[in-house]
A = this chain, B = another copy of it.
Amino acid sequence: MSLSQSESTAPIVFETDPGRYRHWRLETQGESARLVWDVKETEPLRAGYALKLNSYDLGVDIELADAIERLRFEHPEVRAVAITSGKDRVFSAGANIHMLASSSHAFKVNFCKYTNETRLAIEDACARSGQRYLAACNGIAAGGGYELALACDEILLVDDGNSAVSLPEVPLLGVLPGTGGLTRIVDKRRVRRDHADIFCTLAEGVKGQRAVDWRLVDAVAPKSRFDDLVRDRLAKLAAGPARVASAPNASVPGASKRTGHGVKLTPLRVENGMDRWRYTALEVQIDRRRRTATLTLEGPEMEPPRDAAEARRQGADLWMLRLSRELSDALCRLRFNEEEIGLLLLKSGGDPERVARHDTALEALAREDWFAREVVLHLARTLRRLDVTARTLFALVEPGSCFAGSLMEIALAADRTYALDDPKRPVTMILSPLNFGPLPMGQGLTRLQVRLLAQPESHEALRRRVEAGDLPRFDAASALAAGLVTIAADDIDYEDEVRVAIEERVSLSPDALTGMEASLRFPGAETPETKIFGRLSAWQNWIFQRPNAVGDKGALKCYGRPERPSFDWRRT
C-alpha cells in the first residue's frame, strides 16, 4: 500500500475560482452556459501521473464542483449548461488510472465520495434550481467521463464511427465504476438490466444508434451536425419549464424566478493554525492524541435580513451561507487531510433565538427569492455531506450553545447528542421551519422525521406548532423527553459521561464504525443517492481492498503494464 496523499505531501485545498481554473473554462451567454473541460495533462494535483485524454483527478473535480456552485449563485440567469470537451475526439477518459493505482485505499474512497457529491450537486441544480445540464459528448466518454454525463439531464453523443460511451472499469480494471454509473444506468436512465450487464463488461463501450436504443444516450448526430444539435437542445432546455421542487423540498418552491444580479462567492476567510483553523462562523480544533476534532459553529451576530434585497446585499456574507460554505470546506479538509481523526465533536455558540429568526426569515424569503432559496439548498447539501462523512459525530449541547433550527440539524445529524442539564445554566434548543422539510437527508426524510420515526404523531404535533408560528423550545430535560437528545446529564456527571463516551468511541475499530454508521444513519426507503453512498460505495470499498484489484497481480495494478492480471477465482 502506498502512502496516502495526506501523508506524502501538503494538505489539499478545496477553494478555487474561475480565474484560477487550470482544467475547465466556464463560458456564459445569456440563459445558457458552457462548461468546457480541457484538462492540463501536466498539472495533476500530485506529481507522479499525467492527466492524459481529459482524465481527471481530485484537482480537476474541485474546479468542477466550484463551477457548479458559482453557476447557481453568480449566474442566476443561466437556465441550461452544456458540459463539453475542449479536446478533439475525446470527451473524457474518466478518473486517472495511474492516480488511482498509486493512491491509498482511504484516498480512493474519499476521492469517489467527493466526485459523487459533485455529480449529485449537478442533479440538485437540475431538480431544484432550474439549471438544466446537458452532456455534449463530442468524443469518447469512458468511465468517470460517462458517469459525469449520466449526472446530466440529457446526454448527446457525436456519431463519428469512433466515439462511444463506456464503463470499462470491470473488464479493464477489476473495479466498479465508482461515481454512480451502475446505479444511474438502471435506476435513473432505466437501461435494461441485461443491456446494462453487457454494457458494463464491454471495454470498448457502445456508440451510435445502439447507444440511443439502449437508452445510454438521448441522441446522436454526425460531427457536421453535432454543434447544431447541442445548440438546439441547450436552447430548448433553457426555454423549457424549470422543474418544480421535488417533494422533500416542497416547502421551498419558486425555482423558476431567478431575477436580478448574481451573488459573488467571495473567498472564504480562514486563519490556519497548526491544529486549529478559524473561519468566521466555524472553528475547528484538532486533538491528535485523542483523534478528535471539535467543530464549534457560531450563530449569527446580526439580525436576519429584512427582505430579499438586503439578503442580496449581504451576499456571501449572509450568516447561513458563510456557515454552510465553511462547514463544507472543513468537512472536505478533515476527510482528506486528517484521516486519523475519527470523531467529530459538534458544538455551537450564540443566540438560539436569533438563529430561529434567521431561519424563519430565510424560509419565508426562499418562497420568492432565488438567492435565499440557494442559501437553503446550499446548507441542505452541506448537511448531506455531513451525513455521509465517515467519522463519528457527537453533538454536545452545553451552556451558551446555539442548537436552533438550521444549527439543530447538526445535532440531529449526529450519531449521539449529549446535553448538560444544569438548571443554573440552562441550554435552549429550538425547532424552526427549516427542520421540517427544506433540509432533507439523502433518502428524502428530514433528520427530525428519522429521529422520531417511531413517533410520527409527535413529529406531526411539532410540525403543526411550527406551522402556526409557535416554535417549540426545549431545555435539556424536555429535549430528552422529546427524543431530541440522547443523554442529558447533570453538572456532576456530564463531563465524565462525555469523556468516557469519547474514550470508548475512539478505541473502536474505525472500519467497523464506518460500516455501522453508514447502516444506522439512513432508515427509511432508499433512493439513488443513498444507493450510491450505501450499496455502491460499500461494494467499491470492498473491491478496492481485494487482491484481485489492488494486489501485485490485480487488474488495477496491472493496467498499462504488459502483464495480464491474475485472479483468485473464488466468488464471494
Contact = CB atoms under 8 A, between A and B. Distances in A.
Contacts of A340: 569-571
B194 A416 contact: yes
Contacts of A513: 170, 571
Contacts of A534: 531, 534-535, 538
Contacts of A516: 170, 176, 182, 197, 200-201
B523 A526 contact: no
A463 to B, nearest CB: 18
A198 B510 CA distance: 16
B174 A549 contact: no
Interface centre among A104, A182, A291, A515 (most CB of B within 10 A): A515
Nearest to A214: B454
Interface in A337-358: 339-342
Nearest to A413: B193
Contact of A535 (B538, B565, B572): B538
A215 B200 CA distance: 43
A75 interface: no
A525 interface: yes
A432 interface: no
Contacts of A570: 4, 104, 106, 339-340, 510
A519 interface: yes
Given A451-B192, A509-B567, A526-B526, A539 B536 contact: no
Interface in A374-405: 390-391
Nearest to A411: B194
Interface in A436-481: 450-451, 453-454
Interface stretch (A114-122, A240-248, A317-325, A540-548): A540-548
Given A193-B450, A514-B571, A508 B201 contact: yes
A68 to B, nearest CB: 25
Given A176-B519, A512-B548, A194 B535 contact: no
A190 interface: yes
Interface string A173-217: 111100000110111001111111110110000000000000100
A342 B541 CA distance: 21
Nearest to A108: B572
A511 B193 contact: no
Interface in A91-144: 104-106, 109-110
A105 B572 contact: yes
A560 interface: no
A263 interface: no
B197 A415 contact: yes
A414 interface: yes
A297 interface: no
Given A187-B523, A534-B535, A542 B569 contact: no
B569 A174 contact: no
A256 to B, nearest CB: 28
B415 A511 contact: no
B509 A174 contact: yes
A557 to B, nearest CB: 12
Interface residues of A, number: 91
A192 B483 contact: yes
Contact of A512 (B109, B183, B190, B543): B543
Nearest to A486: B194
Most buried by B among A416, A453, A542: A542
A260 interface: no
A544 to B, nearest CB: 8
A198 B497 CA distance: 13
A152 to B, nearest CB: 18
A219 interface: no
A417 interface: yes
B342 A569 contact: yes
Given A519-B535, A520-B193, A512 B342 contact: no
Interface in A475-497: 483, 486
Nearest to A182: B519
A391 B565 CA distance: 20
Given A106-B571, A201-B516, A510-B567, 19 more contacts: A174-B509, A174-B512, A187-B523, A193-B451, A197-B486, A197-B517, A339-B569, A342-B569, A390-B572, A509-B548, A510-B548, A510-B571, A511-B546, A519-B531, A526-B526, A534-B535, A538-B541, A538-B542, A542-B542
Interface of A: 4, 104-106, 109-110, 169-171, 173-176, 182-183, 185-187, 190-198, 200-201, 215, 291, 339-342, 390-391, 414-417, 450-451, 453-454, 483, 486, 504-505, 508-521, 523-526, 530-531, 534-536, 538-543, 545-546, 548-549, 554-555, 565, 567-572
12 contacts: A105-B572, A182-B519, A182-B520, A187-B524, A201-B508, A340-B570, A509-B565, A510-B568, A515-B542, A519-B531, A538-B539, A545-B545
